[in-house]
Structure 1
Amino acid sequence: MTEMQREIAEVVLKATRSKLAVEDLAGKDLVGMLAISSVDALEILISIEIAFGIEVRDEDLGSGLVENLQTLEAYVIARRDALSQA
């Protein structure tokens, strides 16, 4: 697990009020494991925006974005890169 994935996992666990450990999320399907609803997905994405200083675009919204830590990490990196090039 990368440092960013660890940070993202902490955000996800806090947003979903889960008592799991950060390590429990490594390589897992977050939607299934945490029973993430569409409301939970929005809460996670808002928390990610705040924690990482990015903006989730409307067209990117969806539970697929919170599928796993790798997907979230790739998205955060892509949005940071887009912001730095703007």
Structure 2
Amino acid sequence: MDKQMIIQQLKSLIIQGMNLSLTPDEIKGDNLEQEININSVDFLEIMVLIENAFQIEIPDEDLDPEMINNLSKVADYIRSKLAVGRD
């Protein structure tokens, strides 16, 4: 799956999951904590949404607030998990 496609899907997921009144284009994705004011509870909820949407498991040791704060990093992580799943 293309990285930009994943990022767009992530933006839509976050908007729906957090009931935001934004469009995907309004989210840059470089610093979600500042852009959409996510907190630690939101962070965990987003991780669950990601696991369900992409059918991956994110182990506790991989839970990193810095990763979820940046959609490019999240997309890279998802791509790596999807690649492992194909093996």
* TM-score after normalising by structure 1: 0.87
* Residues 13, 49 of structure 2: 8 Å contact kept: yes
Match of 1:5 in 2: 7
Residue 75 (structure 1) aligned with residue 77 (structure 2): yes
Query: How far apart, in 2, do the equivalents of 1:36 and 1:16 lie?
Result: 9
- TM-superposed deviation, 1:61: 1.0
* Residues 41, 62 of structure 1: 8 Å contact kept: no
Query: How far apart, in 1, do the equivalents of 2:70 and 2:22 lie?
Result: 15
- TM-superposed deviation, 1:27: 4.4
Question: Superposed, which structure 2 residues align to 1:25-40 within 5 Å?
Answer: 25-40=27-42
Structure 1, unaligned runs of 5 or more: none
* SS of equivalent to 2:13: helix
| Deviation string, structure 1 residues 8-64 (Cα, Å, up to 9, x no partner) | 111111222211110111343111111111110000010001101111111011321
* TM-score after normalising by structure 2: 0.87
Percent of aligned positions that are identical: 27
Query: How far apart, in 2, do the equivalents of 1:62 and 1:15 lie?
Result: 19
Which moves more between the two structures, 57-66 or 34-43? Answer: 57-66
Runs of 4+ in 1 over 6 A off after TM superposition: none
Structure 2, unaligned runs of 5 or more: none
